[in-house]
Amino acid sequence: MNKSEATTQKITISKQAGDWYLSCSYEFTPSANNKTIEVVGVDLGIKTLATLSTGEVLKSVLPYKKAQNKLAKLQRQLSKKVKHSSNWYKAVVKLGKQNRRVANIRRDALHKVTTYLAKNHGIVVIEDLNVSGMLGNHKLAKSIADQGFYEFRRQLEYKCQWYGCELVVVDRFFPSSKTCSNCGHIQDMPLNIRTYDCPECSLSIERDLNASINLRKRVLIGEVSSECKTHSRHAVGLTVDACGRSAADSSGRSRK
- Told to judge if 43 belongs to the known catalytic residues of this protein, a careful annotator would answer yes
Minimum separation from the CB atom of position 210 to Zn ion (A):
10
Coil, helix or strand at residue 24: strand
Interface residues with Zn ion (CB under 5 A)?
A: 180, 182-183, 185, 198, 200-201, 203
Give the whole-angstrom CA distance, residue 235 versus residue 242: 8
Nearer to Zn ion, 40 or 198 (CB): 198
Strand partners, 11: 24
Nearer to Zn ion, 183 or 191 (CB): 183
Look at the alpha carbons of 156, 158, 159, 163 in this order and tell me if their dihedral is positive or negative.
positive
Tell me which of 127, 146, 166, 241 is the catalytic residue.
127
Tell me which of 197, 208, 227, 249 is the catalytic residue.
208
Nearer to Zn ion, 163 or 196 (CB): 196
Tell me which of 43, 128, 166, 241 is the catalytic residue.
43
Minimum separation from the CB atom of position 54 to Zn ion (A):
20
DSSP per-residue codes, 205-243 = EEHHHHHHHHHHHHHHTT-S-HHHHHHHHH--STTB-TT
- Told to judge if 197 belongs to the known catalytic residues of this protein, a careful annotator would answer no
- Told to judge if 208 belongs to the known catalytic residues of this protein, a careful annotator would answer yes
Minimum separation from the CB atom of position 256 to Zn ion (A):
17
Other beta carbons within 10 Å of 50: 23
Phi/psi of residue 7, nearest 5 degrees: -120, 125
- Within 8 A by CB and 6+ apart from 152, the residues are 44, 49, 110, 113, 114
Minimum separation from the CB atom of position 207 to Zn ion (A):
14
Phi/psi of residue 163, nearest 5 degrees: -100, 15
Minimum separation from the CB atom of position 178 to Zn ion (A):
12
Nearer to Zn ion, 149 or 174 (CB): 174
Please, how many CA atoms are within 13 Å of residue 241, restricted to the half-sphere of its CB? 17
Nearer to Zn ion, 106 or 178 (CB): 178
Q: List, by residue number, the catalytic residues.
A: 43, 127, 208
